Amino acid sequence: MKIDVLTLFPAMFAGPLDESIIKRARKKGLLDLKVHDLRDWTHDRHRTVDDRPFGGGPGMLMKPEPIFEAVESLRREKTKVILLSPGGRKFSQQIARELAEQTDMLLVTGHYEGFDERVRQALADDELSIGDYVVTNGALPAMVIIDAVTRLLPGVLGDDESSLDESFSRDLLEYPHYTRPAEFRGMKVPEVLLSGNHAEIAKWRAEQARLRTKEKRPDLLK
Ligand code: 4G0
């Protein structure tokens, strides 16, 4: 998959996407990620990317011209252009699975109070939010989406890392997990997990997952 990112903070992308699974995906050529500085598409001496809202009010908006020029130069035939903003559709594992089927994405990030509406109207195929909160700019949300999508690309995860039971993790929280030692600082691993009785273990895990979901995420049971 080819992912282009348009940002005012290209330096933020060095680091998080150069580690671990994403690093490996890039090395293997499964992810081709290119980060672009929006200011490269400005023409004035101050490389201006923002302006004041018509009609008044506080804050600044991303002005349309640099974004239009950048998107028009970066997008190709199959490119899905996606805006990141707190006003977008809520990103989810289901949306990550859908995006993993694309060949080309262009993530457009902003800051201030958001984008001139014509960016949305004329350029965006979709607008996503990683959750109901505001961060200073769209770089972190873009990285979250890149990470969640990349680990789903065929060949990225090894057998050990693959989520074995995706259908399960879809509608319930995980049951409690334990590794050695069997007793640690007086805290014992539940006896059933040491019993070797796989039917009982499966029953215990299903019950724990249900209890935990009811406690922490009752919305998932409805
Ligand atoms: C556009 C995304 C971009 C509009 C971006 C803020 C959170 C998310 C930004 C705004 C972001 C998210 C209207 C404040 C940049 N913060 N939840 N900040 N407004 O995905």
Please determine, for residue 165, whether its predicted confidence score (pLDDT) is greater than 60: no
- Asked whether the predicted pLDDT for residue 21 surpasses 80, the reply is yes
Instruction: Output Rg (C-alpha) for the chain, integer angstroms.
Output: 22
pTM score of the predicted model: 0.96
> Which residue's CA lies nearest to atom 1 of ligand 1?
114
* Mean per-residue pLDDT, 190-197: 98
In the numeric block, which tokens belong to residue 152?
């789903």
Q: How many CB atoms lie within 10 A of CB 35?
A: 20
Per-residue pLDDT at 112:
85
Distance CA(33)–CA(146), nearest Å, equals 9
* The pair of three-digit structure tokens given for residue 222, joined into one six-digit string: 């409805």
User: What residues are in contact with ligand 1 under a 6 Å CB criterion?
Assistant: 84-86, 110-111, 113-114, 129-131, 133-135, 137-138, 141
Residue whose pair of structure tokens reads 């995860």 in the numeric block: 157
Compute the mean pLDDT over every residue in the chain, rounded to the nearest whole number.
Answer: 96
What does the pLDDT read at residue 4? 99
Give burial (CB, 10 Å; 0-12/13-18/19+) of 147: middle
Query: 168 pLDDT exceeds 80?
Result: no
CA of 129 to the centre of ligand 1 (A): 7
pLDDT exceeds 50 at position 147: yes
The predicted pLDDT at position 193 comes to 98
Asked if the model's pLDDT at residue 170 lies above 80, the reply is no
Best of 84, 112, 113, 146 to mutate for ligand 1, by most ligand atoms within 8 A of CB? 84
Ligand 1 binding pocket mutation candidate from 92, 135, 147 (most atoms within 8 A of CB): 135
> In this predicted structure, what is the pLDDT of residue 163?
63
Confidence of residue 162 (pLDDT cuts 50, 70, 90): confident
For residue 87, the ligand 1 atom closest to its alpha carbon is 13
Pairing outcome for strands 104-108 and 2-7: parallel
Q: What is the pLDDT of residues 69-122, one digit of tens each?
A: 999 999 999 999 999 999 999 999 999 999 999 999 999 999 989 999 999 999
